[in-house]
Structure 1
Amino acid sequence: MMELRVVDLEKRIRDHLEKLGFEIHPLKVGWYNAVLSPAFHLPYLDDTLAFVVLSTPAMFDKAFKPFLRNGPLKKIRDPVDQCISHHLTLLRESLADQQVDIMYDYELLPNRKPKFLAQTAAHIAGAAYYYQRKDVQQDPWGEKKIYGVCIHPRYGGWFAIRALLLFPGVEVPSLLQKTPVDCVTTEEKRIELLEKFNFHWRDWSYRDITEVKEKYSEEQKTYFATPPAERLQLLTLQGGLQRNAIH
């Protein structure tokens, strides 16, 4: 009975989000907590069902631009964050028979730690491989701080991890874990990826470390390359793309 409920729940979420350019990937909270120190544990039972939500390149045209056309923006938040929140709030309303907790990638706890570690969650759910310093045998960086980065098997680096949906009332003891696709397989490529991500991220090149099936449009690149404080102004200049911006 529980398995049928989970299949139905996943279908309802997919039907709502995939047409908007989002992907979802299920996981158990226990898988996530098992690889992190207690300071980062999520306060749910190990078998609690969760879904990582990713935005694909299609999200810009399918969700973001229509969102901009349809309503006024609030200056206090980034327009993309507002769009994601809008659609996930609608999803939660459509799942009124479930308790749904939503954590966004930009949210922080009072101690300034993120509410969840987005790249870890994506890796654990099998959505995208999280390449880190420990994935390189001959570390060339010495004392430098090196951040890791997720690469998607279809979109390379042309995607974003947006949120975690948690269902406290739904436990999935028999859910099988999927291993993320390791698409940057050689030592040389992994070093190149981490070098590009850490030291040359502004040129977008790390996103093309693998052959991608789809990537951001030029319009989308321009938008994301614009400093956040200037994005509202950019939107008002883009030929009526956003009629109702508060500026």
Structure 2
Amino acid sequence: MSASIQQRLRELLSPFGFQCNPFRISWYNAAVQPCFQLQYPDDTLAFVILSTPQMFEKAFKPFIAFTKLSGVRDPIDECVAHYLTQVMKNFPEHRIEAIHDFELLPNRRPKVLVQTAAHVAGAAYYYQKKDVQQNPWGEKKMNGVCIHPCYGGWFAIRGVLIFPDVQDPSLEQKMPVDCVLTDEKKIQLLKKFNFHWQDWTYRDIIEVEERYSEEQKLYFASPPAERFKLLGQKDDVNNQQSMELLQSEDF
């Protein structure tokens, strides 16, 4: 059953620049502290959802052109929530729970550690200080970062979809590709991400197949308050076609 669900999810999400990778809840829970564990049976099927560089053109711009923003959330968060809601409607036979990357518990902890989810699902390698053999930082805290084997750092992890009524003990774990091959490169990656993340050079720590467009870079580089000024999108042919696909019975 999980294979057919995954195929259907990919058919629905890939035209809009999203990627999905399956995992079992037990894989995630084994990798996080008890306070972050998800309260589902071990074999429960879940998917981590990534946005690729194409999401901006294929999903975000059409969404902005044809949707009135609520102003409650960041426009990107609104966009992703919208598309995932539409996806969930295509599985009326299942109960699906979505946890977005921006959702927090009352104690301000994230509801899900999306980088860990991406790692255990084999979608992107979560590089942390423990991955460096010759640690130059000692006890200093260093934040980890996921790197995608095709997109490097030019992607984002948007959340997880959980199917509480689907148990799949036979699902085999695929480990993420360790694409930052040397200790030197891993040190460079963590330094760039922790101390120079705003220049985005950490995203190119490996050779990538695709990057964000210049328009997309400008949007994400702008302060949140300034981004709204950049959202005047034209109702061009591509936007119209994307929204027609979004509103079709197959989505």
Query: Shorter-normalised TM-score: what interval?
Result: over 0.9
Residue-by-residue CA offset, 1:150-195 (whole Å, 9 max, x unaligned): 0000000000000100000000000000010000010100000000
2:249 paired residue number: none
Which of 189, 196, 213 aligns to 2:192? It is 196
Residue-by-residue CA offset, 1:45-64 (whole Å, 9 max, x unaligned): 00000000000000000000
1:15 paired residue number: 11
1:245 paired residue number: none
Structure 1 position 105, deviation (Å): 0.3
Q: Is the 8 A contact 2:65 2:234 kept in 1?
A: no
Give me the whole-angstrom Cα distance separating, in 2, the residues matched to 1:227 and 1:178. Answer: 37
1:142 aligns with 2:138: yes
Q: Is the 8 A contact 2:189 2:202 kept in 1?
A: yes
Amino acid paired to 1:18: S
Amino acid paired to 1:111: N
Give me the whole-angstrom Cα distance separating, in 2, the residues matched to 1:119 and 1:56. Answer: 15
2:177 paired residue number: 181
1:77 paired residue number: 73
Amino acid paired to 2:108: R
Segment drifting more, 193-202 vs 67-76? 67-76
Q: Is the 8 A contact 2:144 2:190 kept in 1?
A: yes
Amino acid paired to 1:212: V
What is the aligned length?
237
Alignment of 1:198-237 (within 5 A): 198-236=194-232
Structure 1 position 234, deviation (Å): 2.1
1:50 aligns with 2:72: no
1:101 paired residue number: 97
Give me the whole-angstrom Cα distance separating, in 1, the residues matched to 2:21 and 2:53. Answer: 17
Residue-by-residue CA offset, 1:103-130 (whole Å, 9 max, x unaligned): 0001001111100001000000000000
Structure 1 position 97, deviation (Å): 1.1
2:160 paired residue number: 164
Q: Evaluate the alpha carbon distance shift between residue 231 and residue 170 of structure 1 in structure 2; reply closer, same or farther with a 3 A threshold.
A: same
Structure 1 position 32, deviation (Å): 0.5
Structure 1 position 143, deviation (Å): 4.4
Give me the whole-angstrom Cα distance separating, in 2, the residues matched to 1:65 and 1:239. Answer: 9
Q: State the TM-score, normalized to the length of structure 2.
A: 0.91
Amino acid paired to 1:171: Q
1:30 aligns with 2:11: no
1:152 paired residue number: 148
Structure 1 position 239, deviation (Å): 6.4
Runs of at least 5 residues in structure 1 that lack an aligned partner in the other structure: 243-247
Residue-by-residue CA offset, 1:8-37 (whole Å, 9 max, x unaligned): 211111111011000000000000001112
Q: State the TM-score, normalized to the length of structure 1.
A: 0.93
- Divergent runs of 4+, >3 A: 238-242
Give me the whole-angstrom Cα distance separating, in 2, the residues matched to 1:135 and 1:34. Answer: 18
Percent identity reads: 60
RMSD between superposed Cα atoms in Å: 1.4
Runs of at least 5 residues in structure 2 that lack an aligned partner in the other structure: 240-251
Give me the whole-angstrom Cα distance separating, in 2, the residues matched to 1:37 and 1:141. Answer: 23
1:62 paired residue number: 58
